[in-house]
Chains A and B, each alone.
Chain A
Amino acid sequence: AQKVTQAQTEISVVEKEDVTLDCVYETRDTTYYLFWYKQPPSGELVFLIRRNSFDEQNEISGRYSWNFQKSTSSFNFTITASQVVDSAVYFCALTPAGSSASKIIFGSGTRLSIRP
């Protein structure tokens, strides 16, 4: 069975602090994709990153960075120097690789609040 766990339901930090959102997944597939999406109050899902299970290199994009560790089945997301605009719900997700028509399994989401 596939499962994505985001243990942190809500996080609140003061602006400019760094914050890490945890994601742990379970899958029996040997190849898969992991995703992070941002959902601001408007409701639209914003794609942030896709990571192939074969690629364990960490990635940095501006203030965002992702740490993928296959050994612990984790795909954590860190925001450096957080800003108020980062306030949103963040979802970690998983899908088998090899078919673009595969279902996406979402975690329960972490609601991030950045206080000025």
Chain B
Amino acid sequence: GAVVSQHPSRVICKSGTSVKIECRSLDFQATTMFWYRQFPKKSLMLMATSNEGSKATYEQGVEKDKFLINHASLTLSTLTVTSAHPEDSSFYICSAPTSGVDTQYFGPGTRLTVL
């Protein structure tokens, strides 16, 4: 199946700093990617839809100035958590659908811990 990677897999940062998470489709192009957030022992909640060459679409309640998304190419989307605070600590997962196939492939996730 298609492969989606995420980097870094784990990051610890101080409160107030910004953290960038990368999501790459390794063997296919993705005009759309999705970013999810998962709290411990909870389900995945869609944060935003990343669109190549245009602005991301954010779900209700997600602060777009807080979670900056850039889809710079057909294989890369980045999520930047700006001025991170402890409540931003979470597991962030991206996904990308392959063209013509209604199945999304998920990255391995990034565990963010804000001290």
Contacts and interface: CB of A to CB of B under 8 A. Distances in A.
A101 interface: yes
Interface residues of B, number: 27
B77 interface: no
Contacts, number: 61
B93 A50 contact: no
B115 interface: no
Interface residues of A, number: 24
B49 A106 contact: no
Interface string B73-106: 0000000000000000001010101111111111
Contacts of A100: 32, 97-104
Interface of B: 1, 31-32, 34, 41-44, 46, 49, 91, 93, 95, 97-109, 111
